[in-house]
Amino acid sequence: MVVPESHDTPAVLYIDLHLIHEVTSPQAFDVLRARGLTVHRPDRTVGTMDHSTPTGPRNALGKYAYADTQAESQVNKFAQNCAEFGLEMHALGEKGQGIVHVIGPERGLTQPGKTIVCGDSHTSTHGAFGALAFGIGTTEVGYVLATQCLLQRKPRTMEVRIDGALPRGVTAKDMILAIIRKIGVAGGTGHVIEYTGSAIRNMNMDQRMTVCNMSIEAGARAGMVAPDDVTFAYLHGRHASPKGHAWDEAVNAWRALCSDGDARYDRSISLDASLLEPMVTFGVDPSMGIGISEVVPSHGIPGLQDALAYMGIEPGRPLKGHPIQVAFVGSCTNSRISDIRAAADILKGRRVAEGVRCLVVPGSQQIKQEAESLGLHDVIRAAGAEWREPGCSMCIGMNGDIVPPGQYAISTSNRNFKGRQGPGSRTFLASPEMVAASAVMGVVTDPREVLP
């Protein structure tokens, strides 16, 4: 904190790591140019290309096929901006490229105690490491480029405590969908969520990232988990992690970054993980979810009739067995190696149902390489699914990977908003396990029925 807040002015908060991508930065670079400014700390700024990038293969000439010229020029503009201002940038197809919230942790840039921002609401992902990480708009991207600082008021705090063991076939994705269902899409507004409890402690980093990623879907700009040995083991030896003596010092400092035992939160809720089952959404916001054994509700939710009309769904019936045309495994929520492996384990020896398009999109080049070294791409392709280049892909549909109007997609992404995956698209949010199982069966399927 550079300057603490007062009644008259917010705090001037120092930003330790600024992640940037092609969609929310071009207008910020224009402001820098117009004001004759440089980037204050290029060494604390890292760029990657992810939203508008194609996920199809290069052609014979080594070129990628962009969705349109606008997407291509946005990506090119980003490369020019990063070169002009001297910033580290991981370009399309290069080794370090991938979804911004996947490469930060993967490269060891995301560390406990850091303040991290990015022009993207899913920046909450990085809170899984005990960092304070939140999404900002493009004007603020400009502020951080120019000063490495932001003006911030202190947020309220909320504890989401989850104890108990997740049953077989129930995942971190199901847990966060259950949390959002419980507190609603505005339940965390104005708050930073801390996820606590034995169920969180027993999770690996991929799982904690999935939970923190969707904090914003409950309205919270940031979600965090206290760092522990699981966190340190993940970070050890990564590209930007401290090395040697500095590593020991860092771990000692990071150990102190947990909430006090008698800490009080502005709000607390709790959940029993052992009571959860695989979740799937039926509506047009992430709180409109049900357990796979439940039926679609008929009342008691604002906007329900409108949501069901858009989705073409009948109340009072289960979603299980509902036909799907698209299955998507990917996005900053569920595109890490454990997600790809979970999907591949179910696809192994099976075929994607006729009439279903199944895309598996790894979160980064590194994950793609790791999956291929394990032979997962062969399993995925043998099942008739597409194994693609890394990027945001069908989560936001900016790169041409879209769900056709009226079709049903079951998706591991984070938003089922109207038209999110393409105009007229209808989205069921679920875990990688449920998406893969549904791809094989051609209908929404309880993954526990097909688990190896």
Partner 1 sequence: MKKFEKFTAHYAVLNREDIDTDQIIPARFLKVTTRDGLGKHLFSDWRYHADGSDNESFALNCSEHRHAQILVAGANFGCGSSREHAPWALHDFGIRAVLSTSFGDIFANNALKNGVLPIQVSPEFLAHLLGTDGGTMTIDLEAQTVTRDDGISENFKIESFARYRLLHGIDEFEFLMSQSEAIARYEQINGK
- Per CB under 8 A, does 303 bind partner 1? yes
305 binds partner 1 (CB under 8 A): no
From 42, 56, 64, 73, residue interacting with partner 1 (rule: CB under 8 A):
73
Considering only residues 389-428, where is the footprint of partner 1 by CB under 8 A? 396-398, 405, 415, 417-420, 423-424
Q: Which of 410, 397, 390 is nearest to 103 (CA)?
A: 390
Residue 139 is a binding residue for partner 1 (CB under 8 A): yes
Compute how many residues bind partner 1; rule: CB under 8 A.
Answer: 66
SS3 call for 248: helix
269 strand-pairing partners: 160
In 3-state terms, what secondary structure has residue 59?
Answer: coil
Q: How far is the CB of 105 from partner 1 (least distance, A)?
A: 19
- In three-state secondary structure terms, 270 is strand
Q: Does 12 bind partner 1 (CB under 8 A)?
A: yes
Distance CA 153, CA 243 (A): 34
Q: How far is the CB of 71 from partner 1 (least distance, A)?
A: 5
* Residue 194 near partner 1 by CB under 8 A: no
DSSP 365-379: HHHHHHHHHTTHHHH
Asked if 8 touches partner 1 (CB under 8 A), the answer is yes
Bridge pairing between strands 88-90 and 45-48: parallel
Residue pair 198/163 in contact (Cβ under 8 Å)? The answer is yes
Q: How far is the CB of 91 from partner 1 (least distance, A)?
A: 17
Among 46, 175, 199, 216, binds partner 1 (CB under 8 A): 216
How far is Cα 121 from Cα 99, in angstroms, rounded to an integer?
Answer: 13
Interaction between residue 246 and partner 1 (CB under 8 A): no
Query: Does the footprint of partner 1 cover residue 101 (CB under 8 A)?
Result: no
Rank residues 138 and 369 by Cβ distance to partner 1 and give the closer one: 138
User: Rounded distance, CA 430 to CA 441, Å?
Assistant: 15
Q: Are strands 267-272 and 426-429 parallel, antiparallel or unpaired?
A: unpaired
Question: DSSP string spanning 261-283?
Answer: TT---SEEEEEEGGG---EEE-S
Task: For the CB of residue 9, give the shortest distance to partner 1 in the complex, in Å.
Answer: 5
Q: What crossing angle do the helices spanning 337-347 and 205-213 adopt, rounded to 10°?
A: 100
> Which listed range, 97-105, 138-146, 291-299, 377-385, lies at the site for partner 1 (CB under 8 A)?
138-146
Contact pick of 174, 285, 401, 433 for partner 1 (by CB under 8 A): 285
Using the minimum distance from each CB to partner 1, give the nearer residue, 1 or 275: 1
Residue 431 neighbours by CB distance under 10 Å: 30
Residue 190 is a binding residue for partner 1 (CB under 8 A): yes
Q: What angle do CA 139, 141, 144 make, to 5 degrees?
A: 115
Q: Is the dihedral of CA 441, 444, 449, 452 positive or negative?
A: positive
Which residues contact partner 1 by CB under 8 A? 2-3, 7-10, 12, 14, 16, 23-24, 26-27, 30-31, 35, 40, 51-52, 68, 70-71, 73-74, 77, 119-121, 134-140, 142-143, 146-149, 151, 153, 185-186, 189-190, 216-217, 219, 221, 285, 302-303, 306, 396-398, 405, 415, 417-420, 423-424
